[in-house]
Structure 1
Amino acid sequence: MTLLDVRGLTVRTADGRTLVDDLSLTVDSGERLGLIGESGSGKSLTTLAILGLLPDGMTATGSVDLAGTQIVGATEKRLAAVRGRDAAVVFQEPLTALDPLMRVGRQIAEPLARRTCLKGAALREAVRGALTQVRLPEPERIARAFPHEISGGQRQRVALAMALACAPRLLIADEPTTALDVSVQAEMLDLIDSLVRERKMSVLFVSHDLAVVARVTDRALVMKDGRAVEEGAVHDLVRLPREEYTKALVASARRLESALDLRSAR
């Protein structure tokens, strides 16, 4: 069953520049799709368009069907009902998703309360469980902290806990490990892989790094200058890329052989 169906998506600026050009992709229930491309390729704008979160001055045309809801042209009320429930996002920099003036526990409690109607001690225990699930030590301390009082890796795990709080059917991960050091990055990738597998969720994983995408996805679409240039199984894209651009991404992929070995072991 198709969960996300994007057809002819085009994103333009107010002055008419095309940043995403006639893009089509699908993500089935339980499937993991990687969206690969260098900075400026349009991949992050694609994810924002899928959630109806494009910046002011940008418009989307085409069709984005997310779990039966047409996103392009939808009202904010309709979009609010979709976000969190049908799809949730983890951004590259968690501070873009976290309120710097609100304690971590409250930020996780709000989506949990909306989904479950829990209150009081039961809600606090659910927050603790959410933090424990993303493998954060001392969840009570983390819940009391403000975002600036915890590390970058911990903030990214908090952002993941928030994204999963409403049990979305699709997790959109937009460069979720780029700002982390290598060891923390590997831990975060393993965590995402484990939680997605456990919850049988769909994933749209965005990255400039083919080696990272190979860790957590089954199929990938390569973007360049706002357009899709190649698509296929990750293994095939790595072993037998057709396009020169894809070949360049393969050649520059960090820890490529290690990623392939891990992928083969899955």
Structure 2
Amino acid sequence: MTLLDVHGLTVRTADGRSLVSDLSFTVAGGERLGLIGESGSGKSLTTLAVLGLLPEGMSATGSVVLAGTQILGAREKELTAVRGRDAAVVFQEPLTALDPLMRVGRQVAGPLARRTGLKGGKLRAATLDALAQVRLPDPERIARAFPHEISGGQRQRVALAAALACEPALLIADEPTTALDVSVQAEMLGLIDTLVREREMAVLFVSHDLAVVAKVTDRILVMKDGRAVEEGTVRDVVGAPRQEYTRNLVASARTLESALDLRSAP
């Protein structure tokens, strides 16, 4: 069943300049789609349009249907219901995504309370469990901390815990490992891979790094200058790219061989 259906999506600035042009793709329930392209290719704007979060001064036309709800033109009340329940997002830099003045535990407890109705001690226990599920050491200490008091990798795990708290059907991961060092990046990718498999969630994974996308997705959509230039399975796009732009991305993927080995491992 199709969970996300994007058709003819075009995103324009206030002066009419197109940043995303006539983009179409689908994501089925449980499927993992990677959006790959260089900075400025329109990847992040696409994810913002999917959630109805485009910046002021930008507009979108076309169609974006998420779990049966038409996102474009929807009222804020409808969008609020969709966010978290049907789709949740993890952004590149959690220090800006998390509230710097709110303790970590409260930021995870909020979506948990909305989904489950839990209160008091039961809500606290569920919050600590959510932090433990993303493999944070000493969840009680982390829950008491403010975002600036924990490491970048720990903040990203907190953001993931908050996104998964409502058990969304679709996880949108927008460059979630770019700001992390290589070893922490690998741990984060493994964690995302494990959690979405366990929960049978769909994933829309955005990155400029083809090797990263190859590790956690089934299918790839390559974007350039706001348009789709190639689409196919990971093995087809990586093994036999049709477009020169995609071939250049493949050539620049430093860890591509290991990524493909991971995909083919039993």
In the superposition, the TM-score normalised over structure 1's length comes to 0.99
CA distance in 2, matches of 1:194, 1:226: 31
| CA displacement 1:81-121 (0-9 Å, x = unmatched) | 00000000000001222000000000001110011010111
CA distance in 1, matches of 2:20, 2:232: 20
Deviation at 1:235, TM superposition (A): 0.7
| CA displacement 1:30-76 (0-9 Å, x = unmatched) | 00000000000000000000000000000000000000000000011
**Residue equivalent to 1:198:** 198
| CA displacement 1:136-157 (0-9 Å, x = unmatched) | 0100000000000000000000
**Residue equivalent to 2:113:** 113
**Residue equivalent to 1:62:** 62
**Residue equivalent to 1:10:** 10
CA distance in 2, matches of 1:95, 1:162: 14
CA distance in 2, matches of 1:42, 1:96: 20
**Residue equivalent to 2:173:** 173
**Residue equivalent to 2:98:** 98
Matches within 5 A, 1:142-221: 142-221=142-221
Structure 2, unmatched stretches of 5+, are none
SS at match of 1:131: helix
**Residue equivalent to 1:258:** 258
SS at match of 2:49: helix
CA distance in 2, matches of 1:138, 1:144: 10
2:252 paired with 1:223:
no
CA distance in 2, matches of 1:157, 1:110: 16
Residue correspondences, number: 266
CA distance in 1, matches of 2:97, 2:146: 13
Letter matched to residue 88 of structure 2: A
SS at match of 1:34: strand
| CA displacement 1:205-247 (0-9 Å, x = unmatched) | 0000000001000001000000000000011111100000000
**Residue equivalent to 1:29:** 29
CA distance in 2, matches of 1:222, 1:145: 39
SS at match of 1:177: coil
SS at match of 1:102: coil
Deviation at 1:264, TM superposition (A): 1.0
CA distance in 2, matches of 1:239, 1:102: 46
CA distance in 2, matches of 1:239, 1:119: 51
Structure 1, unmatched stretches of 5+, are none
Q: Where do 4+ consecutive residues of structure 1 move more than 3 Å? A: none
SS at match of 2:6: strand
Contact 1:209 1:254 in 2 (8 A): no
Deviation at 1:162, TM superposition (A): 0.4
Deviation at 1:254, TM superposition (A): 2.4
SS at match of 1:54: coil
In the superposition, the TM-score normalised over structure 2's length comes to 0.99
CA distance in 2, matches of 1:254, 1:235: 16
SS at match of 1:5: strand
CA distance in 2, matches of 1:119, 1:89: 24
Deviation at 1:263, TM superposition (A): 1.2
2:123 paired with 1:123:
yes
CA distance in 1, matches of 2:264, 2:222: 21
SS at match of 2:142: helix
| CA displacement 1:183-222 (0-9 Å, x = unmatched) | 0000000000000000000000000000000100000100
**Residue equivalent to 2:139:** 139
